[in-house]
Amino acid sequence: MALLDMHPWLLLPLELPKLLINRGSIASRQALVKVRRNFTGERTANIMKHLFPVPKPESKRLITFANRDDYISFRHHIYEKHGGPKSIDLKEVGPRFELRLYQIKRGTMDQSEAQNEFVLRPYMNTAKKQKSLGV
């Protein structure tokens, strides 16, 4: 039985832009380009990297995961090149939401006694601001 990682997330306010209305062709099955910013923890960046398939070179979709104060901002864009590399048109197609990782367990899905690899403990050290995603 193969080991896999279980990682529950806290999903914060979800915003759907008005651009999503009647845009069925944009949400195609085309592979995505992934961008990860401000991830000091290799483990968390590795989890985010494997959420989507490997992007194709001709892909025009862009997914951004940006870490700020342990909240991961998710953004979905498409882009078009109008000539050179400095003339790129970027449009947000949504959805837009914030994630907060609160637990990573090591083991299989059917394992009830899976080992905790990471657990967010927000009230453990309140003396100074502590960033947890450096795991």
Domain ranges of the chain: 4-18+29-119
Question: Would the pTM of this model clear 0.95, i.e. be above it?
Answer: no
- Residue 42's SS3 state is helix
Contacts of 63 (CB under 8 A, 6+ apart): 32, 33, 34, 35, 52, 74, 75, 76, 77
Per-residue pLDDT of the chain (135 residues; tens, 9 = 90+): 344 455 565 556 655 555 444 444 444 445 555 666 667 778 888 887 777 778 787 888 888 888 888 888 888 888 888 887 778 888 888 788 888 888 888 877 678 788 888 888 777 665 555 565 654
